[in-house]
């Protein structure tokens, strides 16, 4: 039998050959890590996405296999220095400074002068990141951006950022904003994780006020903290981060995983907690025969109206898209919905609160009403052994030997976001088992899961059952 070491080597070899063949077919070469990152036409290629995931899984598992365990554990215990270093990068505008310097890079003396900090310490931070392939040291103490660090670039000039720092992340990809949010308030809260879990008063609590975040920032929930006077920049950054993440997530699983075409002309789709309605916009473009209501808090609705005035004014004028004020912890007023849709809502709430939301929707549902949750679905690191196989879409392709069933580090984003939700809100991303347990007794039943290799998000479809 092939050894794990040889099997991983074979997966890497065949995967790399496939990737290079796909690029060659399109008359392109795989981008150099020394070049700035630019979205390309192959980013959405299904075969490329699947192969890339296998290569990532094999490479990371190969490192885990060959690196001595004590070294792995010690390095893992020190890895918090990477996000701490990234926080310095986004706060000091280092990516933008180096972009303006050009490919020849900039000496740490000049970097320190332009960012207003000690050049030697900035150099040590950049060297740590460059050693982990974020930035590059092109000569002793001379640093430049590379493909990975350039993903943090807001695209704005340093002068423009300094002139209006609170608007730094407006109209950007949102990646820098997300890194800033995660490495600032969330990382500062995260150091209290053990304290929270070992405290009998908070360990099993489902209250946001008992979240790790609240312990770190003086008994205040995360969202309330962001809205406090003095946190205007953090709140603006958080909004940019969430909008950027939404824009970056492929919507094909949402659009294709349910038979929207089967809904009758003018059937009503209710986007519960839909923000400005950016995902409703994607649905309406694909299925203009339906009617849409976006439910949100009163203070969000004016922003939503502005969004639609700039993207599809006719939809508002015709009434095909409407905004309605609603708190999803209150009884659902719409009684004739064909579909209730929620994107990244349930993951904000612990089970007790999430069940309340689901019960309100069920109380207003018709027997034919469907509920669609578009969210992460946490993959098990172990095989499910065919468990949940009666649910279409529940089974994922079997990972080739000797890879983990969830492809290991390929699932890092999902499991890390799950911990982020625990720290910030005392909430969670859920496995399929946890999701089934959540809806038990709420009048809903999971009937199918839509997936896409281009996105970690899943579209989970529920039907009504007797309460």
> Is 107 designated active site?
no
User: With contact defined as beta carbons under 8 Å apart, do 367 and 464 qualify?
Assistant: yes
Stated length of the chain: 467
In the set 169, 243, 347, 360, the catalytic residue is: 347
Neighbour tally for 285: CB within 10 Å: 13
Distance of CA 222 to the CA centre of its chain: 18
Q: What are phi and psi of 256, to 5 degrees?
A: -105, -15
| Contacts of the segment 347-350: beta carbons below 8 A, 24+ positions apart | 347/375, 347/376, 347/421, 347/427, 347/428, 347/429, 347/430, 348/421, 348/425, 348/427, 349/425, 349/427, 350/206, 350/207, 350/425, 350/426, 350/427, 350/428
Instruction: Give the DSSP letter string of 85-111.
Output: HHHHHHHTTHHHHHHHH-TT-EEHHHH
Residue 196 CA to residue 216 CA, distance in Å, equals 10
- Residue by residue, DSSP assigns 1-66 as ---HHHHHHHHHHHHHHHHHHHHHHTT--PPPTTSPP---TTTT-HHHHHHHHHHHHHHHHHHHHH
> CA 89, CA 160: separation in Å to the nearest integer?
17
Which residues form the catalytic set?
347
């Amino acid at each position: 039998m092939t050894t794990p070491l040889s099997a991983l080597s074979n997966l890497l070899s065949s995967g790399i050959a496939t990737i290079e063949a796909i690029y060659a077919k399109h008359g392109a070469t795989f981008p150099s890590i020394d070049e700035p990152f630019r979205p390309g036409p192959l980013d959405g290629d299904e075969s490329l996405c699947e192969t890339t995931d296998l290569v990532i899984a094999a490479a990371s598992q190969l490192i885990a296999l060959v690196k001595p365990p004590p070294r792995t554990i010690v390095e893992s215990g020190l890895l918090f220095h990477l996000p701490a270093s990234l926080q310095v990068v986004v706060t000091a505008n280092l990516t933008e400074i180096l972009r303006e310097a050009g490919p020849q890079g900039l000496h740490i003396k000049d970097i320190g002068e332009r960012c207003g900090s000690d050049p030697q310490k900035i150099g040590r931070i950049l060297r740590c990141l460059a050693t982990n392939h974020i930035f590059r040291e092109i000569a002793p103490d001379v640093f430049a951006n590379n493909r990975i660090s350039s993903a943090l670039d807001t695209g704005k000039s340093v002068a423009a950022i300094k002139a209006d720092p609170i608007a730094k992340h407006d109209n950007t990809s949102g990646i820098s904003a997300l890194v800033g949010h995660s490495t600032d308030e969330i990382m500062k809260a995260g150091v209290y994780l053990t304290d929270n879990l070992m405290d009998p008063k908070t360990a099993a609590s489902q209250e946001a006020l008992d979240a790790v975040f609240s312990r770190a920032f003086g008994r205040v929930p995360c969202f309330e903290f962001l809205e406090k006077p003095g946190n205007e920049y953090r709140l603006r950054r958080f909004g940019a981060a969430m909008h950027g993440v939404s824009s970056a997530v492929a919507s094909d699983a949402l659009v294709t995983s349910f038979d929207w075409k089967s809904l009758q002309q003018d059937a009503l789709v209710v986007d519960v907690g839909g923000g400005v309605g950016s995902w409703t916009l994607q649905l309406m473009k694909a299925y203009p025969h339906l009617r849409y209501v976006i439910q949100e808090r009163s203070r969000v609705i004016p922003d939503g109206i502005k969004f639609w005035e700039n993207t599809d004014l006719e939809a508002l004028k015709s009434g095909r898209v409407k905004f309605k004020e609603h708190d999803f912890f209150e009884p659902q007023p719409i009684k004739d919905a064909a579909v209730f849709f929620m994107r990244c809502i349930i993951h904000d709430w612990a089970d007790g609160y999430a069940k309340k939301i689901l019960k309100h929707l069920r109380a207003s549902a018709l027997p034919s009403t469907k509920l669609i949750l578009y969210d992460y679905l946490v993959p098990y690191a172990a095989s499910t052994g065919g468990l949940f196989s009666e649910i279409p879409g529940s089974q994922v392709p079997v990972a080739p030997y000797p890879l983990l069933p969830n492809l290991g580090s390929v699932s890092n984003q999902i499991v890390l976001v799950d911990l982020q939700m625990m720290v910030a809100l005392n909430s969670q991303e859920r496995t399929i088992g946890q999701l089934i347990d959540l809806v038990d007794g709420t009048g809903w039943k999971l009937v199918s899961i839509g997936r896409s290799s281009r996105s970690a998000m899943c579209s989970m479809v529920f039907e009504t059952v007797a309460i």
